[in-house]
Amino acid sequence: MAGSYDDRDGKIWMDGALVDWREANVHVLTHAMHYASSVFEGERAYNGKIFKSRAHSERLHYSAGCLDFQIPWTVDEIEAAKQEVLHANGFTDAYVRAVAWRGVGEDMGVASKRNPVRLAIAAWEWGNYYGDAKMKGAKLDIAKWKRPSPETAPSHAKAAGLYMICTMSKHEAEAKGCSDAMMFDYRGYVAEATGANIFFVKDGEVHTPKPDCFLNGLTRQTVLGMLEERQIKIHERHIMPEELEGFEQCWLTGTAAEVTPVGQIGTYNFEVGSLTRDISDGYEKLVRA
């Protein structure tokens, strides 16, 4: 499948039923379009099975609650709908996107209690998020935008509005020939990439930012478990920018990114070392087990 995302063959699940891909539309006065009242999940199916599927559906409900709305479909119903989408499109290996939002209704202002909450689930075939970076390591810019304080935004929700600065940061990075950008948080600590968590290696030990103002990704949690199984010492902590110079290896984690080695962040270089390779290969095996 290729081409514009609004002009493809296939089926998308919307509000309880499968509809033709090209007919999966919303009104221009949809609340989410104007006020970012939307949450979503990115998931991957391997060999017909969505990795950590239920955890994703549960997090979708959690994120909606953070934005003060409830999804009118249960976790079980969402799980069934995702399988229905995969089957309808004939996919076994695919990216799955579930999105819930405040739709159009009687309210057209900041408040929207009277507007219905809607839900859609789509799936498509998607290869490596960073292309050939899986082999040689991604090149990252350093973003000027910072992840916000939990006091200013629901930073632990997977909410659409939190990605506005990520889009701008990634565009600027791509203009410089980079695959992505690393972001600091509001205090100046290393946080994450625009859509992936980040890990570093020094002297055989792993260092990763403490997720106290950004999403604690499900892939991140999976990789932490893999490291524990390998008895690798892990430091979840605040990381200062000047520490980047001393790290030897680096990788990103995320459902789309999977485990992607990083070769460069700004002027700092990293080797695609044995631990990075081991975790990347191990993750590939785990999700297809």
Give percent of the chain with pLDDT exceeding 90.
95
**Phi, psi (deg, nearest 5) at residue 54:** -65, -35
* Residue 85 to residue 82: CA distance in whole angstroms: 5
Band of pLDDT at residue 274, cut at 50, 70 and 90: very high
Catalytic annotation on 233?
A: no
Closest CA to 254 of 284, 227, 217: 217
Angle at 25 between CA 44 and CA 14, to 5 degrees: 50
Residue 85 neighbours by CB under 8 Å, 6+ apart: 11, 12, 13, 18, 96, 121, 122, 123
- Select which of 113, 158, 202, 210 is catalytic: 158
| pLDDT over threshold 60, residue 108 | yes
pLDDT tens-digit map of 110-135: 999 999 999 999 999 988 878 777 77
pLDDT tens-digit map of 15-36: 999 999 999 999 999 999 999 9
The conformational region for residue 156 under phi > 0 = left, psi -120 to 50 = alpha, else beta, is alpha
| pLDDT over threshold 70, residue 210 | yes
All structural domains of the chain, each given as residue ranges with its CATH number in brackets, are 11-124 (3.30.470.10), 133-287 (3.20.10.10)
Band of pLDDT at residue 1, cut at 50, 70 and 90: low
pLDDT tens-digit map of 152-183: 999 999 999 999 999 999 999 999 999 999 99
